[in-house]
C-alpha cells in the first residue's frame, strides 16, 4: 500500500526527495556546512518527515546527514586553515560571509572555546561557518574533529528523530496548523513588532545618554 501524499508545502519537496532522496540530503548538508547558503537543515527535516511517512529509511537519512555534516565542516576547517583570514575576507562575500559577520563569529568562538562547536550546529549562521572559523583561528584539528563529530551526531539525531515522529502524524499536524495558522502568524507578527520597537527604544535611550561631541571636550 502506497503512503499517503504529503500535505501543504511538503508536497513541493516531493519531486526533489523522490528523485534524489539521500543524495539531496547529503549534498545540501555538505554544501551548507562549509559556508554555501543552501537549506541543508531544512532538507534533513523534510527527509525525516518523509521517512516517518514511509518514503525513506530514517537510519539512512540520519547517517547520510551526519557524514555530510562532518565532511562539510572539515572541508571548511581545511579552507580556513590553509587560506586563512585573507581567503575568507576576499571570497567570503560570495557565500554571504561578510567581514563583520566573520569577526563576530570568530570572537564568539574565541570566548567560548571548542565546546561551542557542538552548540553552533544548532545555530543558523554559526553552523555554516564553524569549520572556517576554527581553521582560521588555528584550533588543533583533532580537537575540532572531536567536538564536530559530537555536534553533528546530536544535530542529525535530534532533527531526524523529531521529523520522523512528525511524519507519522503529518496529515493531522498540517490540518491543525492550517486551522490555527492565522492566529500563529498574527502572534509571530506581534512578537517581531515588539522586538523591533524594543530595539529602537533602546537605541534612542543610548543616544540620549551619550553627550554630544562638544560636551565631551
Least confident of 22-36, 59-73, 112-126, 176-190: 176-190
Q: What is the pTM assigned to this prediction?
A: 0.72
Distance between CA atoms of residues 111 and 122, nearest Å: 18
Chain centroid to Cα 113, Å, comes to 20
- Assign 62 a pLDDT band (cuts: 50, 70, 90): very high
Which tops the pLDDT comparison, 211 or 134? Answer: 134
- pLDDT tens-place string over residues 94-122: 666 677 777 777 777 777 777 888 988 99
Q: Which three cell numbers stand for residue 133?
A: 572559523
Number of C-beta neighbours around residue 158 at 10 A: 15
- Mean pLDDT across the chain: 80
Number of C-beta neighbours around residue 3 at 10 A: 11
- Cβ contacts of residue 31 below 8 Å, gap of 6+? 38, 40, 72
The residue-averaged pLDDT of 121-148 equals 88
User: Coil, helix or strand for 171?
Assistant: helix
Amino acid at each position: 500500500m502506497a503512503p499517503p501524499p504529503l500535505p501543504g508545502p511538503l508536497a513541493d519537496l516531493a519531486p526533489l526527495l523522490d528523485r534524489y532522496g539521500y543524495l539531496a540530503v547529503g549534498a545540501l548538508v555538505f554544501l551548507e556546512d562549509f559556508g554555501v547558503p543552501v537549506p541543508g537543515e531544512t532538507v534533513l527535516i523534510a527527509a525525516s518527515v518523509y521517512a516517518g511517512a514511509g518514503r525513506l529509511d530514517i537510519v539512512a537519512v540520519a547517517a547520510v546527514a551526519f557524514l555530510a555534516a562532518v565532511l562539510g565542516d572539515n572541508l571548511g576547517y581545511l579552507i580556513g586553515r590553509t587560506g586563512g583570514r585573507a581567503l575568507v575576507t576576499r571570497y567570503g562575500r560570495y557565500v554571504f560571509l561578510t567581514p563583520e559577520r566573520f569577526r563576530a563569529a570568530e570572537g564568539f568562538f574565541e570566548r567560548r572555546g571548542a565546546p561551542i562547536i557542538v552548540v553552533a550546529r544548532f545555530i543558523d549562521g554559526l553552523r555554516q561557518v564553524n569549520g572556517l572559523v576554527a581553521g582560521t583561528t588555528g584550533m588543533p584539528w583533532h580537537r575540532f574533529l572531536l567536538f564536530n563529530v559530537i555536534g553533528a551526531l546530536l544535530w542529525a539525531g535530534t532533527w531526524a528523530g523529531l521529523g520522523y515522529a512528525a511524519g507519522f502524524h503529518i496529515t493531522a499536524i498540517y490540518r491543525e496548523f492550517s486551522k490555527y495558522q492565522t492566529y500563529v502568524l498574527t502572534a509571530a507578527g506581534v512578537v517581531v513588532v515588539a522586538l523591533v520597537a524594543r530595539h529602537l527604544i533602546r537605541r534612542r535611550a543610548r543616544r540620549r545618554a551619550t553627550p554630544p561631541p562638544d560636551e565631551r571636550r
